Structure 1
Amino acid sequence: MRKFYLIGFFFLLLFDTLGQCSFKFTAEHAKPLEMSIDWIIRVFTNPWVYTAVLGYIGAFFTWMLLLKKAPIGPAFAASHLEVVTVMFASIWLFNEEVQWLRLVGAACIIIGIIFLALAEHKLQPNDQA
């Protein structure tokens, strides 16, 4: 079961990060932002917008599959690792700055997820029969 969770959350993070970064690529390629038909055409003729949609579809189905078996508390918390993965992907893909406060926030998210997972593990009945 643990392998199922690890693989499932890996794909959830992959799809979520792909979706977010694809939207950023779409926004970059559709500049300048303006409420016009030209801007709408620039958005919908950009392949990144469709990659973003595919990322979100993949994330949705992965999330639904995970929710069938994973405890909701830790699963919901772990799904927020997307904030961390998108931050690191943005540093790599978009040359965004690494600020120490962002790193502290990412560490807090990771520590919180670990604590929730440990608490959930302690609540599980032991199967020693």
Structure 2
Amino acid sequence: MKRFYLVGFLTLTLFDTLTQISIKYAGAHALPLEFSAAWLGRLFGNLWVYGAVLSYIGAFFTWMTLLRRAPVGPAFAASHLEIISVLVLSSILFNEHIGWGGILGCALILLGIIFLAIGETSAPEAENDKTPNAEKLEPGA
């Protein structure tokens, strides 16, 4: 099951990252922004727009598959790994500066994911079984 989570969240991160990078490339190729047929042609003639749409659909289906099995808390936290990957790739591909605030934010995201995962694995199984007592089910007791 751990391999399922690892592969699933890496796939989700890949799709989410590809979506964001594709949107950035599509936006850069669609400039200058204007309301005209030429601009719409530039926008929809760009393959990055379709890459963004397809990778967003892939992320959606990956996320829905993960939510069937993964605990919600750690799953939601781990879904934010894309913030780190997009930050790093934007620095490389678009020459964007990563400041100390960005580095600290990435570290806090990773710490949050780790703490939620540890908390989820150390939670006792008895908490998940919340079957009511038989006395509470009987009317008039």
TM range (shorter): over 0.9
TM-score w.r.t. length of structure 2: 0.85
CA distance in structure 2 between the aligned counterparts of 1:46 and 1:10, rounded to whole angstroms: 27
CA RMSD, Structure 1 to Structure 2 (Å): 1.3
| Count of residues in Structure 1 that have an aligned counterpart in Structure 2 | 126
Q: Name the SS of the counterpart of 1:93 in structure 2.
A: helix
CA distance in structure 2 between the aligned counterparts of 1:33 and 1:105, rounded to whole angstroms: 32
Query: What's the CA shift for 1:82?
Result: 1.0
Give 1:1-129 correspondences, 5 Å limit.
1-125=1-125
Question: Which of structure 1's runs of 4+ aligned residues deviate more than 4 A?
Answer: none
Query: What's the CA shift for 1:62?
Result: 0.6
CA distance in structure 2 between the aligned counterparts of 1:10 and 1:46, rounded to whole angstroms: 27
Q: Name the SS of the counterpart of 1:22 in structure 2.
A: helix
Amino acid at match of 2:6: L
CA distance in structure 2 between the aligned counterparts of 1:88 and 1:79, rounded to whole angstroms: 16
CA distance in structure 2 between the aligned counterparts of 1:121 and 1:61, rounded to whole angstroms: 25
Amino acid at match of 2:89: A
Deviations 1:60-84 (A, max 9, x none): 1110110110001110111011111
Amino acid at match of 2:54: L
Residues 57/35 of structure 1: CA separation in 2 closer, same or farther (3 Å cut): same
Query: What's the CA shift for 1:37?
Result: 2.7
Query: What's the CA shift for 1:92?
Result: 1.3
Amino acid at match of 1:96: E
Query: What's the CA shift for 1:124?
Result: 4.6
TM-score w.r.t. length of structure 1: 0.93
What's the counterpart of residue 131 of structure 2? none
Q: Identity of counterpart residues, as a percentage?
A: 56
Structure 2 portions without partners, runs of 5+: 127-141
Residues 124/61 of structure 1: CA separation in 2 closer, same or farther (3 Å cut): farther
Query: What's the CA shift for 1:26?
Result: 0.3
